[in-house]
Amino acid sequence: MLNNKKIVVIMPAYNAEKTLEKTYNEIYQNFVDEVILVDDFSNDGTKEIAKRLNITTIVHDKNKGYGANQKSCYRAALKAGADIVIMLHPDYQYTPKLIPAIASMMAFEEYDAVIASRMLGNSALRGGMPLYKFVSNRFLTEFQNILTGEKLSEYHTGFRGFTRKILENLPLETCSDDFIFDNQMLALILFNGFKIGEISCPTKYFPEASSINFVRSCKYGLEVLYTSLCYRLAKMGIKAGVYGSKGKILDLDKELNYYNKRVDT
């Protein structure tokens, strides 16, 4: 608890047996109320290790994708009564030691969401980030800042936190089940006027850390560009948005699925 807010850490996992325990052991257990891991049908011992560590564990009956994994994580966290939800990848690429700092930025109601940025400071390349990923990250971030009118240092980190208000009020279930889910979620947060804070975060790249390959990185980059264009057009009132019970939102998933079909063909 922090300022009477229940803090839940979620861990979307896939083949994380080599790094899960090390990641979990660096979480401040007296600060976090619960840790929930969703195993996306791993073919290693991820779920066995999670259960041995007494982590609340949910196992998908098939591989559903990174975005679908997060959706399961958020549903479980809300069901557990979380006020603040922090997503931490179990691959030990991000340090769990920053969880208290991230949570405090939301617990005292200064921000609705917080992202741990690898681009604040000079830790990304020093931590082993491949140069092509660094360059593409910077390019995509600048492109998105221009189209959204924001000044975030990064849109692509996997270490981030959200308040219950965001998770309950945004149509996350309509977003993609793939890697672009992260970017769509930030687009929805910004589009609906929520405040995003940032904190500097060191990162580590090593063989056991999860990472998408070059081809999938390229596909993700194209999807980011398209998501950003949808955002800007909707803000300008050119591209039709949809109206839901929570106000005007972007139907990004519908647009992106159409885009993906064209790319795949």
Q: What is the pLDDT along the chain (265 residues), one digit of tens a residue?
A: 899 999 999 999 999 999 999 999 999 999 999 999 999 999 999 999 999 999 999 999 999 999 999 999 999 999 999 999 999 999 999 999 999 999 999 999 999 999 999 999 877 888 888 888 899 999 999 999 999 999 999 999 999 999 999 999 998 988 889 999 999 999 999 999 999 999 999 988 877 766 677 888 899 999 999 899 888 888 887 754 544 434 455 566 565 555 455 444 4
Question: 65 vs 1, 208, 214, 262, CA distance in Å?
Answer: 31, 19, 18, 20
What pLDDT was estimated at residue 203? 87
For 7-264, CATH number out of 1.10.3720.10, 3.40.50.20, 3.10.20.440, 3.90.550.10 equals 3.90.550.10
| The two three-digit tokens of residue 121, written as one number | 């400071």
**pLDDT in the model for residue 247:** 47
pLDDT of residue 128: 86
Q: Are strands 84-87 and 160-163 parallel, antiparallel or unpaired?
A: antiparallel
Total-model pTM: 0.89
Backbone angles phi, psi at 261, to 5 degrees: -65, -40
Q: Give domain limits for the chain.
A: 7-264
- Residue 127 pLDDT: 85
